[in-house]
Amino acid sequence: MTDLVDLAPRNSTPLDLAAIRTVDARSRHAALIQEIADIRYRDVIPEDVLPWLLRHWGLEDAAAFMDDHQRLYEEGKHWQAVRGRLEAFQIVFEWLALNGEHERGTHGDVRYGLFQLGMDDEPERATLLNLIGLADLSKGASSILGRVYGGYDIRPVRLDMMRLDGAMFDDWSGVYLEGIEPKLSFGRLHGGEIDFGAHTSGGTDGLVSGTARFEEGFVLDRSQLDGAVLEPSVVAIQAALSGETIDLGNAVWMPWSSARWGQSWNFEPFIIYGGPDGTSG
């Protein structure tokens, strides 16, 4: 390393040279400067230097959502290079020890930029907040994290591909919590498989019935919403035959699960009125 005084003009006076030597910190601290340059190549970065190196590489935002800063320094530069791609989310899942997947938005939808993160299990709240923070740093500029789910995932109804009893009319399942932007949809399975001890007694009981229905609207268990034509001024008569076979069996007791209910509840009497075709249900 060249001393600063060696770069002084030839016509410099002794006073000029003395002043240059006074302010030349590079010569006095040459060993320390070289140590600072070499410290980033160590296997373990000192804790008092690590925050400055994270800031030097632009990783200070990610450091707020990750406890292991040593690992962040080692792997964060590659994570930065793949931000906006699926590989960035896989790195985030590994950092947080989560088993999850990135689900793209449907191409052609109005809000195609929305994406979701699916988990196998419900993470702890602190881990969930870290996941959301790192996901926001990993996504593309035009993408928005709309939902995080795991254990409970009900999709919105699609008239061209989904049964009405397996979907929601309004939106994806989940709730919004204060201070957390994406929707959260998590659930736990209580109890397990139970052997009721039932066995068939043999024999069947057949039932065939015919019904004439007078319909002036949609009936959710029969009508096809995307294929039916509603004409209120016309009364349509539909003759239908249904058959059902019932296996006879012994009555068994219904045991309760050993899991505790999340909240107390009361059973109130209710009335089931006849449906639009005159049947109960």
Of residues 52 and 236, more confidence is placed in 52
Task: Report the distance separating Cα 23 and Cα 205, nearest Å.
Answer: 104
Instruction: Return the structure tokens found at 139.
Output: 């996504």
Of residues 187 and 224, more confidence is placed in 187
Over residues 119-136, mean pLDDT: 93
* Closest among 254, 95, 115, 96 to 183, alpha carbons compared: 115
Position 130 pLDDT exceeds 50: yes
Of residues 38 and 80, more confidence is placed in 80
Q: Which residues of 24-45 are buried (b: 16+ CB within 10 A; e: fewer)?
A: eeeeeeeeeeeeeeeeeeeeeb
Task: Report the distance separating Cα 188 and Cα 154, nearest Å.
Answer: 14
Position 209 pLDDT exceeds 60: no
Q: Which range is least confidently modeled, 48-57, 144-153, 162-171? A: 162-171
Q: For position 156, what pLDDT does the model report?
A: 78
pLDDT digits (tens, 9 = 90+) for 80-104: 999 999 999 999 999 999 999 999 8
Task: Report the distance separating Cα 209 and Cα 211, nearest Å.
Answer: 7
Position 76 pLDDT exceeds 50: yes
pLDDT digits (tens, 9 = 90+) for 22-32: 888 877 777 77
How many residues does the structure list for the chain? 281
Strand partners, 184: 148, 175
Backbone angles phi, psi at 209, to 5 degrees: -135, 155
DSSP sequence for 199-242: -EEEEEEEEEEEEEEEESS--TTT--TTT----TTS-EEEEEEE
Residue 97 CB partners (closer than 8 Å, separation 6+)? none
Position 274 pLDDT exceeds 50: no
Computed over every residue of the chain, the mean pLDDT equals 75
Are 137 and 144 in contact, with CB atoms under 8 Å apart? no
pLDDT digits (tens, 9 = 90+) for 139-158: 988 899 999 999 888 877 76
Task: Report the distance separating Cα 217 and Cα 223, nearest Å.
Answer: 9
Are 156 and 183 in contact, with CB atoms under 8 Å apart? no
Over residues 115-131, mean pLDDT: 92
State the pLDDT confidence band at 279, using cuts at 50, 70 and 90.
very low
Percent of all residues in the chain with a pLDDT value above 70, rounded to a whole number: 60
pLDDT digits (tens, 9 = 90+) for 211-225: 555 555 556 555 555
Strand partners, 142: none
For the beta carbon of residue 63, count every other beta carbon within 10 angstroms. Answer: 17
